[in-house]
Structure 1
Amino acid sequence: MKVLFIGGTGLISQAVSRLAVQRGIELYLFNRGQRDEFVPEGAEVIRGDIRNPEEARQALQGHEFDVVVDWIAFTPAHVQADIELFTGLTKQFIFISSASAYQKPQRHYRITEETPLANPYWQYSRDKIACEQLLMEAYRDNGFPVTIVRPSHTYGDTAIPAALTSWAHPWSLIDRMRKGQPIVIHGDGTSLWTLTHNSDFAKGFVGLLGHPDAIGEAIHITSDEVLNWNQIYAAIGQAAGAEPKVVHISTDFITAHTPQGTADGLIGDQAVSSVFDNAKLKRLVPEFEAGVPFAEGVRASVAWFEAHKERCTVDPEWSALMNTLIQKHGTDAKLLSFYN
């Protein structure tokens, strides 16, 4: 197969790019060349900006692809440009949506692809839903060969996955743990969550490339391992070699006492128990099996950061926000105890 990844070097897609090349796929990456260290040997890079449609059209002139995957489309305007650019030029277009698009709050704890899409808490998720609707309309009306893939919380070597963390400086969480500073877990830490290593995600995803039965379908790809947040943070602490000092704070309190938008992903996704049924994926890709337990995966992430000291940066603003949140919570708890 001749496959084009728009992006292809991000947290999730870098693992897929590696596996695609290993499987003998003729892989092209279309991006601006800002993360060349994650381009696998054997992939060809086409320089360009997908947000400039004319530039993209010229850069891709003369190419046709069996599969096109857009890893960096987030709004209906992005996918509308994709539809216009790739109609007639590919046999399959894969849109990377998000499992956060599933109904919040859920009617049933176990999520399938038939679970309704509705998220009133997070604009990111609503935009993904709107993208899906636009693409499925193009499929129904004009035969645009779309497949929708919904990742959930996927991580890899370059991430320390958590709920309340600095996304730009993920080492900040490990730094706090090792310094004996308290960390925040939302609620009582017993809600259920699914974390998927990017190498496991890649196994399912590569199996969907060029799969005729995936056209017109939406499929999520996640691990089958389910942990609660107390277990997740305990595993991070074990990987860091430090016993986490935990402060449990309700999601409502966190939302009310952090800057607007800070907790959208928490209240709109991570605070809600999420257990996924991967039966549909396994029907399409029978060889799929998620083999990296979180305890193993996060140890690899910590080791990767320690081998790349330049990436062990901390976010003082995020750490200050955690300190303020913990202090405010402690003050309010004392006042409540006093008045009771």
Structure 2
Amino acid sequence: MKVLFIGGTGLISQAVSRLAVERGIELYLLNRGQRNDNVPEGAHIITGDIRDTTAVAEALANYEFDSVVDWISFTPEEVKANIGLLKGKTAQYIFISSASAYQKPPTHYLITESTPLANPYWQYSRDKIACENLLMDEYRNDGFPITIVRPSFTYGDTMIPAGLNSWNHPWSLIDRMRSGQKIIVHGDGTSLWTMTHNSDFAKGIVGLIGHHQSIGHAFHITSDEVLNWNQIYRAIGAAAGVEPNIVHIATDFITAFSPESTGGLLGDKAVSAVFDNSKIKRFVPDFIATTPFHQGIKRTVQWFEARPEKCTIDQSWNDLMDRIVAANEAGAARAINDK
């Protein structure tokens, strides 16, 4: 198959790119060429910015693809432009959406692809929903060959996943754990969550590439392992060789101090997320997630330790964690005194 990835070198997509090449797919990556160290040997680079539609139309003029996977569109305007570029040039357009688009809070603990899409807490998720709606209209009205994929919290070597961490300096959480500082876990830490290694996610989506029966369908692709947040943070600590000094703080209290975390917490991680993967397994029978979180996160920590230059610390994030902890403790002390 001849396949185009729009993006293809990010946290999730780099693992998919590797597996696609390993399975003999003729893979092209359209991106700005800023992460060429994540390009697998054997993949072809088409340098360009997908937002520059005129230049990209020229770059793709002589290409047709069996499938295109769009990793980097986040708004309906971006998707609409891509439809204009790719209509008639691909037999399948796979849009990477987000499992955060599912109903928040959910009316049932088990999430299937028929769970309603509604997230009042996170604009990112509402934009993904709008993208899905646009694509489904294009499929129903004009036959545009879409497949929708909704990853949940998917991590890899370069990411230390948690409810609260610095996005740009993920080693900050490990450093904080190893120095004995207090680690905030939202709520009481007992809500359920699903962590998926990018190598496992790759198996599912590569199985959908070129799968014409998947056109018109939406899928989530996650691990079947379910953990609570206390278990997740303790697994991260174990990978780092320490017992984390966990302090539980109400999600509403956290978001009052850090409004930018509202979407990621109230709109995602504060709500239990258990996924029924029956549908992806019906379409891709050999899909199975085989990396338990305690193994995957140990590999991640080792990746960072082998690259000291990546072990950078976000002091502003550290300071924010300290302020939230101090304010929470002060509030608890006042409540005790008031009694």
User: Normalised by the size of structure 2, how large is the TM-score?
Assistant: 0.99
**In structure 2, C-alpha distance between the alignment counterparts of 1:262 and 1:109, rounded to whole Å:** 23
Which residue of structure 1 aligns with residue 106 of structure 2?
106
- Structure 2's unaligned 5+ residue stretches are none
Determine whether 1:277 maps to 2:276. Answer: yes
**In structure 1, C-alpha distance between the alignment counterparts of 2:149 and 2:92, rounded to whole Å:** 12
**In structure 2, C-alpha distance between the alignment counterparts of 1:270 and 1:251, rounded to whole Å:** 10
Q: Secondary structure at the match of 1:262?
A: helix
**1:243-254 matches, cutoff 5 A:** 243-254=243-254
Aligned-pair CA distance for 1:59: 1.2
Amino acid at match of 1:135: L
**In structure 2, C-alpha distance between the alignment counterparts of 1:115 and 1:102, rounded to whole Å:** 6
- Structure 1's unaligned 5+ residue stretches are none
What percent of counterpart residues are identical? 67
Determine whether 1:12 maps to 2:31. Answer: no
Aligned-pair CA distance for 1:174: 0.2
Q: Which deviations, in whole Å up to 9, do the C-alpha atoms of 1:150-181 show, x marking residues without a partner? A: 00000000110101000110000000001111
Report how many residues are paired.
339
Aligned-pair CA distance for 1:257: 1.8
**In structure 1, C-alpha distance between the alignment counterparts of 2:305 and 2:37, rounded to whole Å:** 17
Which residue of structure 2 aligns with residue 150 of structure 1?
150
Which residue of structure 1 aligns with residue 57 of structure 2?
57
Which residue of structure 2 aligns with residue 75 of structure 1?
75
Amino acid at match of 1:247: V
Which residue of structure 1 aligns with residue 332 of structure 2?
333
Aligned-pair CA distance for 1:261: 2.0
Which residue of structure 1 aligns with residue 314 of structure 2?
315
Which residue of structure 2 aligns with residue 168 of structure 1?
168
Runs of at least 4 residues of structure 1 off by over 3 A? none
**In structure 2, C-alpha distance between the alignment counterparts of 1:107 and 1:272, rounded to whole Å:** 11
Aligned-pair CA distance for 1:309: 1.1
**In structure 1, C-alpha distance between the alignment counterparts of 2:81 and 2:292, rounded to whole Å:** 38
**In structure 2, C-alpha distance between the alignment counterparts of 1:244 and 1:63, rounded to whole Å:** 52
**In structure 2, C-alpha distance between the alignment counterparts of 1:239 and 1:214, rounded to whole Å:** 38
Which residue of structure 2 aligns with residue 287 of structure 1?
286
Which residue of structure 2 aligns with residue 231 of structure 1?
231
Q: Which deviations, in whole Å up to 9, do the C-alpha atoms of 1:214-265 show, x marking residues without a partner? A: 100000000000000000000000000111001100001111122x323321
**In structure 1, C-alpha distance between the alignment counterparts of 2:307 and 2:59, rounded to whole Å:** 34
**In structure 2, C-alpha distance between the alignment counterparts of 1:278 and 1:78, rounded to whole Å:** 29
Q: Secondary structure at the match of 2:154?
A: strand
Aligned-pair CA distance for 1:339: 1.1
**In structure 2, C-alpha distance between the alignment counterparts of 1:61 and 1:179, rounded to whole Å:** 55
Which residue of structure 2 aligns with residue 3 of structure 1?
3
Amino acid at match of 1:204: G
Contact 2:121 2:262 in 1 (8 A): no
Contact 2:9 2:38 in 1 (8 A): yes
**In structure 1, C-alpha distance between the alignment counterparts of 2:55 and 2:165, rounded to whole Å:** 36
**In structure 2, C-alpha distance between the alignment counterparts of 1:213 and 1:283, rounded to whole Å:** 11
Which residue of structure 1 aligns with residue 44 of structure 2?
44
Q: Which deviations, in whole Å up to 9, do the C-alpha atoms of 1:263-308 show, x marking residues without a partner? A: 3211100000000000000000000000000000000000000111
